[in-house]
Amino acid sequence: MMKYFIAAPFGNYLKYKSYSNVYPVTGTWTTKSRGGLVKRLWKIGTTLRYNRTYQGWTNKLGLPNPGILVGVKKTALNEILSIGELESGDFKKIAEIVSDEQSLEINLSCPNIEHDSKLSWDATRLFTNSSKREFCIVKVSPLTTIDELKFLIEEIGFKQIHCCNTLPVKEGGLSGKTLRPYVNKMISNIRDNWGESIEIIAGGGVEKYQHVNDYLALGANHISLGTICFTPWRVKSLINKRD
């Protein structure tokens, strides 16, 4: 059954509990607090912009959240907890806190976070070793290479890939229809190299049901909804196939 995922941070607020095929993704949660709702709203107000050149939305939110301990309390087991690493060792700390039954999305690709050096993805194997999770998704950048996908799939063991996060641009992270060619290419690459062994969640520029159909026809299993969530009534119309 095809499922819809309400992308973080929208999944913090939009639950659509009456729909059995809709899963909210909360977060992205980090080990330490990066601010609560007030900071998130301030970041949205000061950095979220529609860019006519790119024909999409840019932001520099930078993962504002009150920390993983709050995230665990606020996220039900039938929801999906999005987690991110800011410093080496963060995933190990999170793994010690999160239930091995909690569905997860491991966010490896926020473009608005600066690191001293590129963090190793080795620690993400701490999450793929539980068979109790319904979902253990890795959310990747639109610029992810075949070699990087091979590492995540064949070495770490991810079976569910979210294609993809926002595109890094000088204005921040870009979302919207500009992402569709990147998502299309990644879906094709995964299917060409790993066949049907990988469950693909496609997101980027989904504004109407035709875009859902396009991703499914290319090989996606499920759909992630992001910026359309600024207009929740359109989300319901899309889910109900009335757009």
* pLDDT per position as a tens digit, 166-217: 898 888 888 889 999 999 999 999 999 999 999 999 999 999 999 999 999 9
Tens of pLDDT, residues 144-159: 999 999 999 999 999 9
Mean per-residue pLDDT of the chain: 91
- Indicate the pLDDT class of residue 23, thresholds 50, 70 and 90: very high
What mean pLDDT is predicted for residues 23-36? Answer: 93
- Whether the predicted pLDDT of 133 surpasses 50: yes
- The CA distances from residue 122 to 68, 90, 138, in Å, are 20, 12, 13
- Indicate the pLDDT class of residue 36, thresholds 50, 70 and 90: confident
Cα angle: 213, vertex 216, 169; to 5 degrees:
90
Nearest to residue 153, comparing CAs of 179, 109, 121? 121
- Whether the predicted pLDDT of 116 surpasses 50: no
Between 117 and 166, name the one with better pLDDT.
Answer: 166
Range name among 33-37, 91-95, 104-108, 147-151 with the lowest pLDDT average: 33-37
- Whether the predicted pLDDT of 58 surpasses 90: no
Range name among 36-45, 76-85, 150-159 with the lowest pLDDT average: 36-45
Range name among 36-50, 53-67, 108-122 with the lowest pLDDT average: 108-122
- What's the order of all strands across the beta sheet hosting 167-169? 49-51, 56-59, 172-175, 167-169
Kindly list the structural domains of the chain, giving each domain's residue range(s) and its CATH number in brackets, ordered by start.
4-239 (3.20.20.70)
